[in-house]
Amino acid sequence: MFDLTGKIALVTGASGGIGLAVAMELAKAGADIACHYNSNENAARGLAVEIENTGRKAFIYQADLSNADSADKLVEETCDDLGDLHILINNAGVNREALLIRQTPELVQDVLMSNLASMLYLSRAAARRMAKNHWGRLIHMGSVVAHTGSTAQAAYSASKAGIEGMSRAIARELGPRNVTSNVIAPGYIDAGMSYEMSEERQTELYKYIALGRKGTAMDVAAAALYLSSEEAGYITGAVIHVNGGLNMA
């Protein structure tokens, strides 16, 4: 089950907690992996070694994905090095917390370009290949805050809500080409941005999580593996919540 042998996946933000876990799960299932990073080259290189130890191919690429040309180039390089592109994991993103009255135009622009525009640019580039092949998986990393909101995260919440609208539009457009587009919306995951939370805020969050604990990067990676598979071929335009019951939408 969930055999990705012969598939090629591009994972953005692969040097961080969730991206790293997703890349490893797809590799274990048989996919060759293009690992994107923005600044943490050492982590990306370490990931590539781990992937190669599973017997799969791995290449690393640095890119600022808020630039459309960089997104196009990343997909081109992936196809040149690995031969094609079947799965895109749109995972890279940033969070810039600030109360609404303190959110500068620069902060808003940075968050929207890094989280939303970058995913649109990459989806556009990847869709050209996938539509031609009549097979593809576009998987975008959203967030529970798109549904619940969060103090000091107006721009971040807006970007994550935008990802869901974008994904549904893509699902409509590319469905006839057998290309699916879905969102994974993690809740409180013990990885990446959650490390920036204060101890007090973390303790408060547990009160609202039905399972009473934080999730792991592997919980998110399992959902990504399923959505990448042949078995998920009839799921598109969906939002898969991985939040332990923090939000039961």
* Catalytic residue positions, numbered: 156
CA angle 112, 114, 119 (to 5 degrees): 95
3-state SS of 64-82 is CCCCHHHHHHHHHHHHHHH
Where do we find the tokens 């039905």? 210
Q: How far apart are the first and last CA of the chain?
A: 28
3-state class (DSSP) for residue 100: helix
Structure tokens at 22: 């997703």
Calpha distance 100→139 (Å, rounded)? 29
| CB-count burial class (<10 Å; 0-12, 13-18, 19+) for 102 | exposed
